[in-house]
Structure 1
Amino acid sequence: MSTEQLLNECLVILRSIKDDRKSLEKLLGFMKEEFVENNEINLFEIPDYKLQVPPKYRNLISEVAGNMSAGLISFVNTETLEVDGMPKEIYSDLPLEEDDEEYEEEMTDTDTYSDEIFSFRKWKDFITIEPLESSEAYRIMEYFVDNLPKGHAKNILNNAINGKKPFANFNNFIHQSEYRELWFEFKDRMYEKYVIDSYLYKITDKG
């Protein structure tokens, strides 16, 4: 059947219900859901989880979530609520505490972390927060795609995250799309929720 024949068939059905308001509304809803791409994600359904915790912890939650998103390890001073961040590869190369002085002498003034790399070791009490595992980061990305409206973008992203190199393919598309800012907001809220659910109790128990 040609496209013209298909169109005529559709018009016949449409004419048959032209005076039926309920049927027209039902048809319109179906057509919008199936064929009209909505450029908005209803983030109002995803609460700002920071508002559920005491105000003094909210900046800490945002900072740790930001470090986590960037792949940094966070060190949280449970007395002052100060936060330090460090790339995982640098942390894994740190010497034992008794070797700190010798190691610091080898650091140059141009080293990015030379002034603060050992600051967390001077704290009386702190907790260490690792970046997300790739499987957990993937679930956040998958949840975002699940919340997109039906349409071209959702189809592309579904294919991206279910194929090879899901993170790279997802980012290649999302950063050039109209969903870029929505993704950042969504991701921030999900990372903040993870920090609250997994670590806040450790901070408040010691604080």
Structure 2
Amino acid sequence: MTTAGDSRYPPTLVTLTLVSGFVDAISYLGLGQVFTANMTGNVVVIGFALAGAPGFSIERSLSSLAAFLAGSVCAGRAELRFRERFPSEWLRGALAAEAALQAVAAVLAFALAADLLLIAVLAFAMGLRNGTVRRLHVPDMTTTVLTQTLTGLASDSTLAGGDNPRAARRVSSVAAMLLGAFAGAVLVRAQGVGWALLACALMVTATAATYPLVLSARPRRRTG
């Protein structure tokens, strides 16, 4: 069984961080200025909507927030039920569920455009993933929130008198989120929400399929 903070998790989590940037580009640009991965942004959007700022919807943001929390609850229950008995399959199963939900969201996007059900399905998928990743306890790899990662990068830097711990991991998280947001925005503008969601589902499916290989890639001991 892998340990919390296992050094083999980061490649998987970097890919998921890229997908998060993709997802928020899709939801904010294509589903009516709502977040489905970054709930900090969603809470702020609700505040904007309450103040009467144009273009923001309390209904869409609350639907996303409620579905995200429901997904996180399911992630916690799934860990209690499956992690001890199926340590490798537990994470792979969570990723497979996320990919399936994103595929469902893609079908809804082709059929219904910016519908509340579409927002809820996508937010539930991201809540399921966030609840799962949280249980891994890998520092600086939440896959959706960069505030603490950026704070650590600056406050632990040489300029601040630190020794730059996990700098490469932190920079890779920021770069992955930026790249995902850029790619998601380009695809939404060029092809629409449905194809962008399908791309997310394919990326997470590939991550789920390769995760056991990453997990089994243990360094060999030298003999003699």
Q: TM-score range by the shorter chain?
A: under 0.3
Higher helix share: 2
Higher relative contact order (CA 8 A, sep 6+): 2
For normalisation by structure 1, the TM-score amounts to 0.24
- Relative to its length, the structure with more strand (as a share) is 1
Which of these two proteins has the greater Rg computed from alpha carbons? Answer: 1
